[in-house]
Copies of this chain bind each other. A is one copy, B any other.
Amino acid sequence: MTSLFKDKNKVILVKPRVYIGDTISIGPGKIEILRQVGNLHSISSAARALGMPYKRAWLLIDTLNQGFGKPVIETTTGGKKGGGAVITRLGQDLINCYDALEKSLNQKTKDELNALRALAEFS
């Protein structure tokens, strides 16, 4: 393993994990699975695209559904292709709000991020 000690200008970025009330937590994992289901219209395809077990993907989605008391993904069964999944309006709003937060905090905490980066570059 190469030490990072001598690296210059390391990329630094921050991803948020948001806690709302007692039962909702939203981090990059849940947002990515939502985004992939929105693109691929299938939980199993989304899980595969992220290299995540289907069971875990389903659990992440169900945890959101339960926490919000309203679905972020709706599944359809049967039909020629054996059913699929669609993202709801709430699910899409969640992605949009999370992305806006991520963008904003990376812009607005540059000083604090630079202080952290300096620890890695000059320590």
The answer to whether A116 touches B26 (Cβ under 8 A) is: yes
Q: In whole Å, how far is A68's beta carbon from the nearest beta carbon of chain B?
A: 6
- How many copies the complex holds: the figure is 2
The answer to whether B97 touches A115 (Cβ under 8 A) is: yes
The size of the chain A interface, using a CB distance under 8 A, is 48
The answer to whether B66 touches A21 (Cβ under 8 A) is: no
Q: In whole Å, how far is A120's beta carbon from the nearest beta carbon of chain B?
A: 5
Partner of A15, one of B17, B68, B90: B17
Q: In whole Å, how far is A88's beta carbon from the nearest beta carbon of chain B?
A: 9
Given A104-B108, A104-B111, 6 new contacts (CB under 8 A): A16-B16, A20-B117, A67-B120, A97-B112, A97-B116, A108-B108
- Chain A positions within 8 Å of B, measured between CB atoms, are 1, 3-5, 7, 10-24, 26-28, 66-70, 90, 93-94, 97-98, 100-101, 104-105, 108-109, 111-113, 115-117, 119-120, 123
